[in-house]
Amino acid sequence: MRVIMTGGTGLIGGALATTLAERGDEVVILSRDPSRAKGLLQVARVVGWDGQTSNGWGSLVDGSTAIVNLAGESIAAGRWTAERKRRIRDSRLNAGKAVEQAVREAPEKPQVVIQASAVGYYGPRDDAPVSEDAAPGDDFLARTCVDWEASTRSVEDVGVRRAIIRTGVVLSTSAGALPRMVMPFRFFIGGPLGSGRQVLPWIHLDDEVAAIQFLLDRPAASGPFNVSGPKPVTNSEFSRILGKVTGRPAVFPTPAFGLRLAFGEMATIVLDGQRAIPRRLTDLGFGFRYSDLELALRALLA
């Protein structure tokens, strides 16, 4: 199978490209800056694109193709000014429009489109479990996710299977949230953030990649899927387990007002959460390698 990926130079995309290449797939990574993908040249073909259209790569789409649309500017790269919010939103919607264009113009339609999203779709939630049939929230992240998912909806109108991955916090030591979470513990000042009661829907990077591969290969997989571990934890529980794994105390809380003062609206990333449950993924038979947080953290940090 030829797998065309947007966002292939990110944490998830790079790991997915390597895994797919190892099993024999032809991987094509679309990048606005091909020099950033130099480390992936051994596993993928890198094609430059403008981030908005299918120009230069649409001709690669045929009946044996899958498209994995992961592109989007990081939500944690800085305070959410009006301009940054615009870039976060536009980068996602423009990539979706490019995928729609490629599918619309392809003489032979691709087999499947995997559309990225996030558990932020549900907005801040209390402790009740949230499965894929829950209504969306109404904050900035939720509205962005709703429109992000809708950006490729039209491919279904021409008979293309589409699976939406609502991803939780991906745990990896190479990038993402975990290195930032670990840092205070290294200096013996780790602890819960805010109230500590907010739920963290986490997933090990290996399981994230395996889940996407699973959805690529399952003709019955369509619609939204929560791609997060089956045992989400509160922030306090995460801090306690992280302290146990690192051999550090977890008794120094960071007050919510300090985080809001430092990061503004972006603090919602760590101060709010949702107990997202991967019901549809497990119903299809997907098995998590790391369903327990302590096991996952020991595999990453030991």
Q: What is the extent of the structural domain holding 164?
A: 2-168+204-228+278-288
Q: What is the pLDDT of residue 167?
A: 97
Q: Is residue 99 part of a domain?
A: yes
* pTM of the predicted structure, to 2 decimals: 0.95
Q: Is residue 29 part of a domain?
A: yes
Q: What is the largest CA-CA distance in the chain?
A: 60
Q: What is the pLDDT of residue 96?
A: 97
Q: Is residue 22 part of a domain?
A: yes
The one-letter code for the residue type at 288 is F
Q: Which parts of the chain fold into alpha helices (H)? A: 11-22, 82-105, 140-150, 178-186, 205-217, 235-246, 256-263, 268-271, 279-283, 293-301
The dihedral through the CA atoms of 179, 10, 115, 264 has a sign that is positive
Q: Is residue 252 part of a domain?
A: no
Q: Rounded CA gap, 103 and 82, in Å?
A: 32
In this prediction, what percent of the chain has a pLDDT beyond 90? 89
Confidence of residue 41 (pLDDT cuts 50, 70, 90): confident
Q: Rounded CA gap, 87 and 75, in Å?
A: 10
Q: Rounded CA gap, 19 and 27, in Å?
A: 10
Q: Is residue 263 part of a domain?
A: no
Question: What number is the average pLDDT over the span 231-257?
Answer: 95
Residue range 119-139, pLDDT digits in tens: 999 999 989 999 999 999 999
Residue range 81-127, pLDDT digits in tens: 999 999 999 999 999 999 999 999 999 999 999 999 999 999 999 89
Q: Is residue 189 part of a domain?
A: no
The dihedral through the CA atoms of 199, 282, 300, 180 has a sign that is negative
What is the per-residue DSSP string for 21-61?
HHTT-EEEEEESSGGGGGGGTTT-EEEE--SSS-TTTGGG-
The enclosing domain of 163 has a CATH number of 3.40.50.720
Q: What is the pLDDT of residue 129?
A: 96
Q: Is residue 21 part of a domain?
A: yes
Q: Is residue 265 part of a domain?
A: no
Q: Rounded CA gap, 47 and 68, in Å?
A: 15
N-term to C-term CA, the chain: 36
Residue 239: Cβ-neighbour burial (10 angstroms; 0-12, 13-18, 19+):
buried
**Residue 302 scores a pLDDT above 90:** no
Count how many domains the chain has. Answer: 1
Residue 108: Cβ-neighbour burial (10 angstroms; 0-12, 13-18, 19+):
exposed
Using an 8 Å Cβ cutoff, are 69 and 116 in contact?
yes
Residue found by looking up tokens 């049939």 in the block? 133
